[in-house]
Amino acid sequence: MNANKQIASIECTITIVMSLLLIAGLLSACSGINIQAARNLSATGKNVALQVRQNIFVSDDEYTRARDGEALVHGFSGTTNSDLYAKILKDYDVIHQELAKRTIVFESLADVYDAFGELAGLDAGAQTEQALTNLGGAIEEYAKQIMQPSPIYKDTTAIISKVGGIVAAEIQKAKIKEASIQIRGRVEDFQKLLGNKLVREQMTGFRQSLTTVKKAAFTLMWNQGVYDPKPLLDDFGTDAGLVAKKEAAAGIKPNTPLGNALLEVLKKRLAIKADLIEKSYDASLKALGSLISEHRKLEQGEPLDLNRVQAISAELRSIAGMLTKVKADLSKNQ
Amino acid sequence: MKSKKSVLQKTVSIVHDGKLTQEEALKALRVASQSATEALPAALGKCTTDEERQKVMTDRDLVVLAYLNSLQKTLVQTGALFENTAINLETEAENVRRKAGALTDVTDAINLLTELIRLAASLALAFG
């Protein structure tokens, strides 16, 4: 009787192991997926989404300064009661709010990468293997309690657990591949949307316009002779280790050759910001393109080159830094 | 003077092409608006009366408003595309989380079964 039970037990064990091996075999097409690479890609993807968001939208500070610029030029021209001025401010607000709504797409993209990280972050193989080992132990314990031979031998429990772990890992890889394909499709759609010429003009054009208002307000103030140009004069003397005389700045008047020369320098510095707005947008599109390319590699089981994406992300950060530096340089000269 | 010439060249080029796309039209309005704003300090500097200053400002404001008005109209068109993209991304995040949840569910089910068997074993011991 016991011998029959043992034979049945062995048969049962073999059936389970064979079934698991069959499932593992069916899923082995996904074994090229590198789970660790998927984890790294999810972290990089989130980082890119947040960095791009920071780079292509008008910051609150930028927006406030542009509104201040409008106030200044209207105050100067005595048109603060003008309906046109009120309409400009109202339109600015509506447009700024409308564009700000678009930041939600970047938050959603970051969230998708968070979810991808959750999927890749699981250690399904090891967890399932441990769970099956525990299950085998529990069955054996139960059999002992009811004075029956264990339906599965201890040695085969280890095999089942191992194969079960492999199956779980393969299932996870299959799900990662499927998720990567879906996410790639969404990122491709998003890249196309941001690359749309009209969208690009809307996003970068409004920002350029705000920069122009700030520049006009600054120039108006410069022409009134309210700024101390000494820091700018000192900048020119830096290489020679010289600083401008204390009284030199006082001698520089607007609309004189030297006044105009310094104004031109400042205008060119401000113009850098306008170039950076376009550059920043291009770098953002490039970053999304790199993410798409890394997803493809992950799906094909090729090694990822996340350094490339990280380099573009660093470029984005550097542009954001340069935009701030232009602001800092100007503040220094004010 | 230079920027005025550049705006003029852009306008001529658009007319010559015979096709004016929406983004080109918007860009042309934006460039005109920026040129008017850039010209403000010099123009205001030349004014000698309040009336002149107000006239300069009104002319500039009209050009800027033409741009802002057109920009708002185009934003309505593309805004929906961003909304759809956000919805698609949110759905994708849910799908991926469901996949991760399904993986955990399998392990949870095995662990639950293990606990049930352990419970059965302890009950067998108690009644044995």
DSSP A179-240: HHHHHHHHHHHHHHHHHSHHHHHHHHHHHHHHHHHHHHHHHHHHHTT-S--HHHHHHHHGGG
State whether A186 and B57 contact (CB < 8 Å): no
A276 close to A286: Cβ distance less than 8 angstroms: no
Q: What is the mean pLDDT of chain A?
A: 84
Residue A202 lies in a domain: yes
- Report the alpha-carbon distance of residue A276 to residue A315 in Å, rounded: 11
Check residue A4 and give its pLDDT.
60
Check residue A306 and give its pLDDT.
80
Domain identity same for A147 and A10: yes
Q: Is the ipTM of this complex over 0.95?
A: no
* pLDDT single digits (tens) A141-189: 777 777 777 666 666 777 778 878 888 888 888 899 999 999 999 999 9
Rounded to the nearest angstrom, the minimum Cα separation between A256 and chain B is 14
State whether B92 and A118 contact (CB < 8 Å): no
How much is the average pLDDT of B53-73? 96
Domain identity same for A4 and A94: no
Confidence label for A135 from pLDDT (cuts 50, 70 and 90): confident
Chain A residues in contact with B90 (beta carbon < 8 A): 108, 111
Query: Taking CA atoms, what residue in B is nearest to A77?
Result: B53
Domain identity same for A12 and A46: no
Domain identity same for A62 and A25: no
Check residue B10 and give its pLDDT.
47
Q: Is B53 on the interface with A (CB under 8 A)?
A: yes
Give me the residue label for tokens 């890749």: A120
How much is the average pLDDT of A217-222? 93
Number of compact structural domains in chain A: 2
State whether A190 and B113 contact (CB < 8 Å): no
Q: Is A126 on the interface with B (CB under 8 A)?
A: no
Chain A residues in contact with B110 (beta carbon < 8 A): 128, 131-132, 134-135
State whether B111 and A109 contact (CB < 8 Å): no
Rounded to the nearest angstrom, the minimum Cα separation between B63 and chain A is 10
Check residue A16 and give its pLDDT.
57
Q: Is B49 on the interface with A (CB under 8 A)?
A: no
- Report the alpha-carbon distance of residue B87 to residue B95 in Å, rounded: 12
Give me the residue label for tokens 């520089």: A252
Q: Which two tokens stand for residue A178?
A: 């499927």
- Report the alpha-carbon distance of residue A120 to residue A177 in Å, rounded: 10
Q: Is B48 on the interface with A (CB under 8 A)?
A: no
State whether B110 and A135 contact (CB < 8 Å): yes
Residue A188 lies in a domain: no
Give me the residue label for tokens 């419970």: B119
> Residue A21: which domain range?
1-30+122-177
Domain identity same for A129 and A264: no
The closest of B120, B113, B121, B96 to A128, measured between CA atoms, is B113
Chain B residues in contact with A144 (beta carbon < 8 A): 121
Residue A190 clears pLDDT 90, i.e. is over it: yes
The closest of B76, B41, B57 to A220, measured between CA atoms, is B41
Chain A interface disruption, residue of B37, B62, B67, most A CBs within 10 A: B37
A312 close to A290: Cβ distance less than 8 angstroms: yes
Check residue A270 and give its pLDDT.
83
Domain identity same for A113 and A243: yes
A79 close to B59: Cβ distance less than 8 angstroms: no
Q: Cβ atoms within 10 A of the Cβ of A103, count?
A: 15
State whether B107 and A128 contact (CB < 8 Å): yes
Q: Which two tokens stand for residue A102?
A: 């678009």
Confidence label for B36 from pLDDT (cuts 50, 70 and 90): very high
* pLDDT single digits (tens) A258-283: 888 998 998 888 888 888 899 999 99
* pLDDT single digits (tens) A54-73: 888 888 888 999 999 999 99
A266 close to A217: Cβ distance less than 8 angstroms: no
Confidence label for B127 from pLDDT (cuts 50, 70 and 90): low
State whether B40 and A116 contact (CB < 8 Å): no
Chain B residues in contact with A189 (beta carbon < 8 A): 85, 88
Check residue A24 and give its pLDDT.
53
Domain identity same for A47 and A20: no
- Distance of CA A98 to CAs A60, A104, A217, A299, B82, Å? 14, 11, 25, 36, 11
- Report the alpha-carbon distance of residue A258 to residue A222 in Å, rounded: 13
Residue A187 lies in a domain: no
Domain identity same for A40 and A11: no
Query: Taking CA atoms, what residue in A is nearest to B108?
Result: A131
Check residue B7 and give its pLDDT.
47
